[in-house]
Amino acid sequence: MELIERSAATGAIRVEAVDGTTVVSLVGEVDAALRDDASASMARALVTGSPVVIDSTDATFIDSAGLAFVLQLSRAASEAGIAVSLRDPHRVVHDVLDMIGLGGELPV
């Protein structure tokens, strides 16, 4: 099991291989402070070709940069033929997706 964690003072993006799945965990405040780390995390998540699960259970806040990360990861995975889903979306992520009309964009 390999774990890569990118973090800022109040938030983190973790990429972990678990049983043939790549789990991308959003923790705390997922915002513009994580922008550079988000790019590296996205590349790491997609390189294996394994199904991707975005776990936002521990996210407490997400801004437009964090939401862009989720949507870009989803689209990049889809274009590469990699299955992607959202696990236990924290209300903050789910509400923002619904607010912008993309609530059904990711399978839960």
Could you read off the pLDDT of 68-99 as tens digits, one per residue?
899 899 999 999 999 998 886 667 777 777 88
CATH class of segment(s) 3-99 = alpha beta
Give pTM, 2 decimals.
Answer: 0.83
Is there a contact between 52 and 46 (Cβ–Cβ < 8 Å)? yes
- The C-alpha angle 104, 26, 79, rounded to 5 degrees, equals 50
Could you read off the pLDDT of 36-71 as tens digits, one per residue?
889 899 999 999 899 999 998 888 888 888 888 998
Domain boundaries, given as residue ranges, for the chain = 3-99
Please give the Cα distance from 75 to 18 (Å, whole number): 21
Our measurement of the distance from residue 74's CA atom to the centroid of its chain's CA atoms, rounded to an integer in Å, reads: 8
pLDDT of residue 80: 95
Please give the Cα distance from 38 to 13 (Å, whole number): 7
Asked if the model's pLDDT at residue 1 lies above 80, the reply is no
